[in-house]
Structure 1
């Protein structure tokens, strides 16, 4: 009978190369336990699909992975992300457009003051309506964006395990949490107002009671401290409570505490990603809105009696376009960071993999 081939891959009877060690016999052997043995590692790429059942990998994420996941979530579910933001912005900005249009065609609302050196009642009314209504719409839009942020948190969690929520399902997922979401925004807004007001009062008393040299020295020392305090408040108390409130069914103050704990020992990393997100979103918003804002400004001067309407309409379009990108992108990044922190601190990726069917319950 022919000699069996050598285990080291050479011809029968050949001397094995230096350093060669025999490995385990091929194929299942009697008495060996089934499944991978201790120390076994999968080949590259074997677990890629298992660890990414949805729009993001289910393991702690790098900066690039966080941004990639955020864009994937928006592309994976544009109706519940971009669609909800556009709907909120369009409804809010329709108010000043309709109001200005009605007043323009009924009482002759205008921003045109070129005919005389005096400001007429119509000119004053046009200015107040144009700027005041846009300001009011911005406030209403901000309230609506709070709900959009809550919806995006649910969309993000669903996308992480490969599920796509419709716009209606995302809205229904916020049921029972909407007033708490508003309450959270009010509490954080009041806290921010108190901090700023206290610093303003401090400066008023300082200017009134202290010498110029003392004012300068205290200013040099206190301004960096105040900026550091505001940054700390933003990251530790303001940044992650919304997804915690929506996804963990917590109360207002419990969600603030939850965000505080999740950012513990992760302050600088969270701050860096948050600042970069603000820069990216702000730049994109300016690029998207600049042409329409420019047309609004120039058109208000050239359109004569229709100047107020042109200004409000151009501003409204610019606002809707910028919101369509900024709101879903910022909310998605925040929600992904929330999931990332839970995966880092609490092995939340295991729970998500079980929910996705990757691991057995």
Structure 2
């Protein structure tokens, strides 16, 4: 298929300059990819996040209809200290919205795994001047979806083991009967050792694993191996762009969510009915999560895939392959 009109010159048949990419190239291309393919990037992220976060809102609404959050349970009253009353209902009211939102966030994170795979195909198509819709992007992940889930579970297990080792160190220090200074020293030394290890594993093992899984004929461990290979001798550059992207998206998420938080807090404070106040609070937090996902998920995924493209151009002459795919060069 020939490049879509308006994409660029021969050395840039799509949204990506087919040469080693700088930070400006990567960010500029990421924004352009999102702008030109809104349904397959922002649309997919919003759809997944909205469905996931709708569940805690509906569950909270049902609880608000059938449960009295302020109902006092006499069995929980401390008769020795009548002024200090903590009821099951109060605990339930305090923890249930948080638990429901946590479940929604987990569902959203799982769904965004597939958004990442879709955005990877969108980015690869944009590099050769093709626009991709939501349906086509989803169809492109066919045959790779379970591998994508397997990759996510494998990486989650890796991170659980790393964090678990650190927590075991801290727990051993606490149970060992050491003084406060010893425990603090163990915590600080553990952090000094663990944080660099976390950053190293993030970049070398997990960061560039999804694009090869989606675009190359490799399995879960082959994708991890390709990520390791592509980041070899490119750790600091890859790490710098990845960390900056996390900071940028984090700030953007807070900017998007802060006004909603203020509005939700004001409405909750003004509503005398506790059931309605809880429902408003959960709904506002869910909306903030959807808006955040609409920007952070597509942008982060596009930047990651563009770094994959950049490393392949630098190490494997991937630009020649992309030019051939765009019809600029003979295969």
TM-score range, shorter chain: 0.7 to 0.9
Distance between the aligned counterparts of 1:138 and 1:110, measured in 2? 27
Task: Deviation per CA, 1:246-276: give whole Å up to 9, x if none.
Answer: 1113111111111001000000000000010
Pairwise CA distance, 1:297: 3.0
Aligned-residue RMSD, C-alpha: 2.2
Partner residue of 2:223?
Answer: 255
Partner residue of 2:119?
Answer: 152
Partner residue of 1:83?
Answer: 43
Partner residue of 2:32?
Answer: 72
Partner residue of 2:96?
Answer: 129
Partner residue of 1:281?
Answer: 249
2:274 matches 1:314: no
Q: Is the 8 A contact 1:55 1:76 kept in 2?
A: no
Q: Is the 8 A contact 1:100 1:309 kept in 2?
A: yes
Structure 1: gaps spanning 5 or more residues:
1-47
Pairwise CA distance, 1:199: 1.8
2:268 matches 1:300: yes
Pairwise CA distance, 1:317: 0.9
Distance between the aligned counterparts of 1:253 and 1:351, measured in 2? 24
Distance between the aligned counterparts of 1:127 and 1:213, measured in 2? 35
The change in CA–CA distance for 1:318 and 1:59 in structure 2 (over 3 A counts) is same
Pairwise CA distance, 1:123: 3.8
The change in CA–CA distance for 1:285 and 1:220 in structure 2 (over 3 A counts) is closer
Equivalenced residues, count = 311
Structure 2: gaps spanning 5 or more residues:
1-7, 72-82
Q: Considering only CA atoms, is the larger Rg found in Structure 1 or Structure 2?
A: 1
- TM-score under structure 2 normalisation? 0.88
Relative to its length, the structure with more helix (as a share) is: 2
Distance between the aligned counterparts of 1:252 and 1:271, measured in 2? 22
The change in CA–CA distance for 1:100 and 1:214 in structure 2 (over 3 A counts) is closer
1:195 counterpart (159, 162, 181):
162
Distance between the aligned counterparts of 2:190 and 2:247, measured in 1? 26
2:306 matches 1:330: no
1:169 counterpart (133, 136, 147):
136
Q: Secondary structure in 2 aligned to 1:341? A: helix
The change in CA–CA distance for 1:247 and 1:131 in structure 2 (over 3 A counts) is same
Pairwise CA distance, 1:215: 5.6
Distance between the aligned counterparts of 1:109 and 1:155, measured in 2? 46
Q: Which moved more, 1:204-213 or 1:303-312?
A: 204-213
Task: Deviation per CA, 1:108-148: give whole Å up to 9, x if none.
Answer: 4569xxxx974555444333331111110000000001000
The change in CA–CA distance for 1:86 and 1:219 in structure 2 (over 3 A counts) is closer
2:291 matches 1:291: no
Q: Is the 8 A contact 1:235 1:271 kept in 2?
A: yes
Q: Secondary structure in 2 aligned to 1:234? A: helix
2:309 counterpart (339, 345, 361):
339
